Amino acid sequence: MAGTFTTRTITTGATETMHDLTNACSAFLREAAHGRNGLLNVFTPHATSGLAVIETGAGSDDDLLAALRGILPADDRWGDRHGGPGHGSGHVLPALVPPHATLPVVDGELELGDSQSVVLVNTDRDGPERQVRLSFLG
| pLDDT score for 85 | 66
Confidence tier at 2 by pLDDT (50, 70, 90): low
For the chain, give the percent of residues with pLDDT over 90: 69
Structural domains of the chain, ranges and CATH numbers in brackets:
5-137 (2.60.120.460)
Sign (positive or negative) of CA dihedral 117, 22, 12, 82 = positive
| pLDDT score for 1 | 44
Please give the Cα distance from 32 to 4 (Å, whole number): 6
Coil vs helix vs strand at 69 = helix
Residues 14 and 74: beta-carbon distance below 8 Å: no
Count of CB atoms situated within 10 Å of the CB of 131: 14
Lowest mean pLDDT, pick from 12-16, 33-37, 52-56, 112-116: 12-16
| pLDDT score for 105 | 98
User: pTM for the complete prediction?
Assistant: 0.91
Tell me the average pLDDT of the chain.
90
